[in-house]
């Protein structure tokens, strides 16, 4: 599956985001080691600490179906004119579930180009977990 197709999947699921407070519609898609695409959307709660980022929803859904994430895509509005990258909590979960070689792709919520990185580049000193 191409990064462009994964970005399209992440953008498509954004319409299901539950964002009554921020209106920040974010969607994610995880490509798994089984070749499946697992979606996720941001789910907000009036108690901010109970909200869940789209990236973690997608990664947790991958685990639910017995798969390992190999690529994580985030489609979200730009932040200060630049693509929005996963937060530290999402990167830490991604490191544990996908490892430092996990591909990360970010795109805006329109038809703009996407950017790519490898998780180990974004979190170079993150703790490694035996999987």
- Residues with a known catalytic role: 55
Please state at what angle helix 54-64 crosses helix 88-98, rounded to 10 degrees. 20
Residue whose C-alpha is closest to residue 56's, from 97, 27, 90: 90
Considering just the CA atoms, what is the radius of gyration of the chain in Å? 14
Query: What is the length of the chain?
Result: 131
DSSP string covering 55-119, please?
Answer: HHHHHHHHHHTT--EEEEEEE---BTTBPPPPPHHHHHHHHHHH-TT-EEEEE-SSS--EEEEEH
């Amino acid at each position: 599956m191409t990064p462009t197709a994964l970005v399209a999947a992440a953008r498509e699921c954004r319409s299901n985001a539950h964002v009554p407070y921020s209106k920040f519609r974010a969607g994610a898609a995880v490509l798994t080691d089984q070749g499946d695409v697992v979606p996720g959307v941001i789910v907000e709660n009036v108690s901010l600490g109970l909200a869940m980022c789209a990236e973690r929803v997608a990664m947790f859904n991958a685990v639910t179906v017995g798969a390992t994430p190999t690529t994580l895509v985030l489609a979200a509005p730009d932040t200060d004119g630049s693509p929005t990258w996963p937060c530290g909590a999402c990167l830490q979960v991604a490191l544990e579930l996908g490892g430092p070689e996990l591909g990360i792709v970010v795109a805006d919520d329109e038809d703009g180009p996407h950017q790519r990185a490898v998780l180990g580049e974004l979190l170079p000193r993150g703790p490694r977990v035996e999987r």
